[in-house]
Structure 1
Amino acid sequence: MKAWRVHETGEPREAMRLDQVADPVPGPGEVLLRVRAAGVNFPDALLCRGQYQVRPPLPFTPGVELCGEVVATGEGVAAPAVGERVITPAALPGGAFAELAVVPATGVFPAPPALDDAEAAALHIGYQTGWFGLHRRAALQAGETLLVHAAAGGVGSAAVQLGKAAGATVIGVAGGPEKADQALKLGCDIVVDRHREDFVAVVKEATGGRGADVVYDPVGGEAYTRSTKCVAFEGRIVVVGFTSGTIPAPGLNHALVKNYSILGLHWGLYNTHDPAAVRACHAELTRLAAQGAVKPLVSERVPFDQAAEAVQRVADGTTTGRLVVVP
């Protein structure tokens, strides 16, 4: 089969190389999938650079989530059935940017019928992260104000849709007029172009000076620091990632005197510590997709032979919505 592999870490367009490798074989408890679509995520760039929290042995295939069709199952696997369309995280070092992938059966879920292959491939990690961040960690309530950074990006766009589905007023922050327009189309009640406006002032004006009840921050750096200036009394800042490349050092004295919470979210840990919650979340996301309340913003379906360039574009922060690699 063909597979993109990283032999030496570096920038994605240089590090990723298209190789011909042996077809994988599922072992006990595993499922062999034919990849129908693979979502491109910022962690893929970090993997290529050797900067992700997981460092698979070289050479490895990046690509952390996919929609696929079951080709074969290993010993002890009763479900899913051969031919079923499913979504799942990939199992590194054999990632999703390949024609075939082997994954643990325990992490495989039916693909929501309301979504096509590319949309389904972009659902799992981003929307599970958003759901756990907003509901399990921040306990977002209807009527509250939610501030979402990178609102037109893959992670942020999921939080926007989930926030609206929860009945929140959503203020989205985006960089540039094109991304701001996309954030508005996603359902944001208010959109701030950070290149032209101060989101702190906008949030304070929109909330009568109270501030945002929940801040969803996949950016870090200055986005986090300035968010502390417009978070409400008993507000919650959910730390999702650091696409800015800068990890902020929170002033805990500031959190104390303003009485807000800083919440970390590592969604992958739920697969280990509470897999039942992950399954329940998938059922909820499938229901929301059927209602049309959530639908991944797939801005581009990228041919398989252009996967490395797609990962580079996500790394460079030049994309809107989600890029998905398709055969």
Structure 2
Amino acid sequence: MVCTEFGGPELLAVLEEPTPEPGPGELLVRVGAAGVSFVDGLIVRGGYQVKPPLPFTPGSAVAGAVAAAGTGAPIAPGTAVLAPMRSFGGFASHVVVPATDVVPLPDGVDGAVAAAAAESYATLVFAVTHRVTIGAGEWVVVLGAGGGIGLAAVDVARSLGARVVAVASSESKRAAATAAGAEVAIDYTDLKDGIRAATGGGADVVVDPVGGPAAESALRALRAGGRFCVLGFASGEIPRLPANIVLLRNRSVIGVDWGDWAREVGGPEGNAALLTDVVDRIGRGELRPPVPESAPLREAGSVLRRIGERRVTGKVVLVP
């Protein structure tokens, strides 16, 4: 699927090309499932901080089987793998990736689950291993808890022994968050008071991938020493958080950008180690991502449209 101009996801077009061949140290992966995220839609519209040169193929993570290995590549054909894409390109039937980037999947970890979980769970595992501490018994509030990143936040916080309050806009999304491990699920009505009532006085941590007016209400609901984690702005509105509310009671605002870390500080080796940690936790049953919805690769545009309009609960993968 190729994007030739920035705009609506319906502009994506199918392009038939010869199957690529891996070079030295590279792997050809036959894609079984390509993960889809809200960020993919932003990139296609030209609204993300990273703008790839046109034309390009979206998609940041795939799972599949190694179809061929270039000279010196240490992973044998037939191996089930998760492959992050350095410069996008995942919405395809085959991808060529450096062998150093690829993570073999443990037995019992489904490829579609791994592809769907890669971006959201990597973000949250990065958050709790590099950016913020969540202790057992602490109250963690997750905004946008019915989306892919929100459900991952609920699951990761649950795995650490936290007590989770899920905030979501519909009954179906709140039900999904409860199934993922949230102890309480509420809507956005009177959010500050709702969080304080649910937590018995205030939250220890807020995970916010939504932004907009809910952000300030959630910030005000933090107890002393509370941490507010900024993950994104799915609402389309970047909030202006009042510094005096951060100052009061020693609150903190923490940015969480796994993508920037993976490109710069962590690099391919650090990112591969992080993704290995993610799939190992899934394989051990510590993390329990839900089975994603699947759609044909050719429907990438309509899937991105649904995600952008927040009409998807959980995650979707594209199947070539």
Q: Same fold judged by TM-score > 0.5?
A: yes
Residue 223 (1) aligns with residue 219 (2): no
Consecutive unaligned residues in structure 2, runs of 5 or more: none
In structure 2, what is the Cα distance between the partners aligned to 1:22 and 1:223?
48
| Cα distance change on mapping 1:292 and 1:199 into 2, 3 Å | farther
Aligned partner of 1:248 among 236, 239, 242? 239
Residue 7 (1) aligns with residue 1 (2): no
Residue 154 (1) aligns with residue 148 (2): yes
For 1:73, the equivalent position in structure 2 comes to: 69
Residue 171 (1) aligns with residue 165 (2): yes
One-letter identity of the residue aligned with 1:5: V
For 1:184, the equivalent position in structure 2 comes to: 178
Question: 1:76: how far off?
Answer: 3.6
Aligned partner of 2:298 among 302, 305, 308? 305
Residue 45 (1) aligns with residue 45 (2): no
In structure 2, what is the Cα distance between the partners aligned to 1:315 and 1:207?
31
Alpha-carbon contact 1:161-1:293 (below 8 Å) kept: no
Question: 1:285: how far off?
Answer: 2.7
- Tell me, what secondary structure is at the counterpart of 2:64? strand
For 1:205, the equivalent position in structure 2 comes to: 197
Alpha-carbon contact 1:174-1:180 (below 8 Å) kept: yes
Residue 33 (1) aligns with residue 33 (2): no
In structure 2, what is the Cα distance between the partners aligned to 1:253 and 1:268?
30
For 1:262, the equivalent position in structure 2 comes to: 253
In structure 1, what is the Cα distance between the partners aligned to 2:305 and 2:125?
27
One-letter identity of the residue aligned with 2:211: G
Question: 1:243: how far off?
Answer: 0.6
Question: 1:279: how far off?
Answer: 4.4
Question: 1:112: how far off?
Answer: 3.4
Aligned partner of 1:58 among 45, 54, 60? 54
Alpha-carbon contact 1:296-1:322 (below 8 Å) kept: no
Q: What is the percent sequence identity of the aligned residues? A: 40
Query: Residues 91-170 of structure 1 correspond to what in structure 2 (within 5 A)?
Result: 91-92=86-87, 95-170=89-164
One-letter identity of the residue aligned with 1:262: V
For 1:273, the equivalent position in structure 2 comes to: 265
Alpha-carbon contact 2:58-2:91 (below 8 Å) kept: yes
| Cα distance change on mapping 1:174 and 1:190 into 2, 3 Å | same
- The total of aligned residue pairs comes to 318
Residue 282 (1) aligns with residue 282 (2): no
RMSD over aligned Cα atoms: 1.8
Residue 321 (1) aligns with residue 318 (2): no
One-letter identity of the residue aligned with 2:236: G
Q: Deviations over 1:248-275 (max 9, x none)?
A: 1222232112311111111123333235
Q: Deviations over 1:277-313 (max 9, x none)?
A: 5444334333432333323223411122212211111
In structure 1, what is the Cα distance between the partners aligned to 2:125 and 2:284?
16
- Tell me, what secondary structure is at the counterpart of 1:122? helix
- Tell me, what secondary structure is at the counterpart of 2:2? strand
Alpha-carbon contact 2:35-2:118 (below 8 Å) kept: no
Consecutive unaligned residues in structure 1, runs of 5 or more: none
What TM-score, normalized by structure 2, do the two folds share?
0.93
